[in-house]
Amino acid sequence: FCYIFLFFLMIRRPPRSTLFPYTTLFRSMNRLLWWSLAFLIFLGGMVTSRFDHIVVTFILLSTLIFGQALQKEGTRLLMEFALFGFVTSIGVLTKIVPGLVMISAMLMLLVMQKQTPRWAEAFASIIGLGVGLIVLNAGFYALFGPGYLESFTYHMDRGIQLESVYAGILLLAQMAGLAIVKYDYSFGSSNLLSSFTHEVKLISPVLFLGIVAVLGAKVWRNRLPENKSPGHFIHSQFILMTLILLLAFMLTNKVFSPQYMIWVGPLMTVLVAVHQNLWKTGILLLIATAMTQLIYPQLYIFLEHFHPALVILLNLRNALLVVILILLIRDLPGLTEKNHSP
């Protein structure tokens, strides 16, 4: 219900506008409901046993505030962007990934249009984010003491999680006799021990930053002219960039838990609901979601014992997500009002 409410606020018809009639709104809402139901079914019990839906809720809420801020002027405009940054900081405390919306915001404010970059709005967003992080973390530190800081090093200390892209490649290498890996249960999850663990930790952030650079270059090459704005579908453009960043984070991170799919499902649902031409990519993500549930929890015991069939299934799922990432980056320039399908 929260997603539907936020979605309605994002795509509601502007006052005195005929660009987005209510019939189109109802059709989009109908698609949203059916796609949401599909993702709920394919995600399975994870959505009731994990709190990761809070992550995507904050992403959508930040997106809504960002879009509203662009419509303001003067001092109110800077205050709205500061609020956007502050709400993003709250999301970061749930898990770090809601902070990726700040990268999307910087791309839209500083790169997307050929006109003068909007440095004041970007600075206000960063200030709001910084103030929020300082105030909130100081409060939690006062409540929980030095032990609170250990939460920041938790994921940094983890090994290669069993469902990550790196784990899939290492398991294939072991099947071919090119590597040796061992199973390890630590940090509440199944991981791999390998002589390549150190290298994986080194290349993971480099690969992610490389994809961010590719995304930035793509946005730069397809900047909007001086007299053209992102239009009524600015939320869609923002969500698409955030979805690309989320997939990049998931695929390049040494940790890839099954519940991470909860982050991307609702965002793809919103995109397909508004831009029907993305339905093929949405279907591919549904398939990847179903494969994730098949791996965990249905057949996870076999993956923990490195069964060849599960190793192949894992790599197929990861390869499919890579294909989806490439398709979304390819489709980014085309996500404009003229491509909207009512």
* Contact assessment for residue 110 and residue 241, using Cβ atoms and an 8 Å cutoff: no
Candidate ranges 137-146, 202-211, 230-239; pick with highest mean pLDDT: 202-211
Query: By percentage, how much of the chain surpasses pLDDT 70?
Result: 86
pLDDT in tens, 181-215: 999 998 889 999 998 888 999 999 999 999 999 99
Q: Where is average pLDDT lowest: 6-15, 39-48, 150-159, 306-315?
A: 6-15
Count CA within 13 A, CB hemisphere, residue 184. 14
pTM of the model: 0.91
181-186, strands of its sheet edge to edge? 160-161, 189-194, 181-186
Give the per-residue pLDDT at 220: 85
Q: Which is more confidently placed, 198 or 335?
A: 198
Give the per-residue pLDDT at 229: 56
Take residue 339 and report the two structure tokens written for it. 């491509």
Count CA within 13 A, CB hemisphere, residue 237. 27
* Contact assessment for residue 336 and residue 231, using Cβ atoms and an 8 Å cutoff: yes
Give the per-residue pLDDT at 182: 94
Give the per-residue pLDDT at 144: 86
Candidate ranges 48-57, 316-325, 332-341; pick with highest mean pLDDT: 316-325
Give the per-residue pLDDT at 67: 87
Give the per-residue pLDDT at 307: 96
ω into residue 297 within 30 of 0, thus cis?
Answer: yes
Q: Report residue 34 CA to chain centroid gap.
A: 21
Q: Is 183 helix (H, G, I), strand (E, B) or coil?
A: strand
**Average pLDDT score over residue span 163-179:** 95
DSSP code per residue over 189-211? EEEEEETTHHHHHHHHHHHHHHH
Give the per-residue pLDDT at 3: 58
Reported confidence tier of residue 161, pLDDT bands at 50, 70, 90: very high
Q: Which is more confidently placed, 49 or 86?
A: 86
pLDDT in tens, 51-78: 888 999 899 899 989 988 988 888 899 9
pLDDT in tens, 101-129: 999 999 988 887 666 788 999 999 999 99
pLDDT in tens, 261-317: 999 999 999 889 888 889 999 999 999 999 999 999 889 999 999 999 999 999 999
Candidate ranges 3-17, 155-169, 225-239, 297-311; pick with highest mean pLDDT: 297-311
Q: Would you say residue 339 has pLDDT above 80?
A: no
Q: Which is more confidently placed, 152 or 248?
A: 248
46's CB contacts (< 8 A; 6+ apart) are: 258, 259, 261, 262, 293
Alpha helices by DSSP H, listed for 95-196, are 100-110, 119-144, 150-153, 165-175
Q: Is the dihedral of CA 88, 91, 95, 98 positive or negative?
A: negative
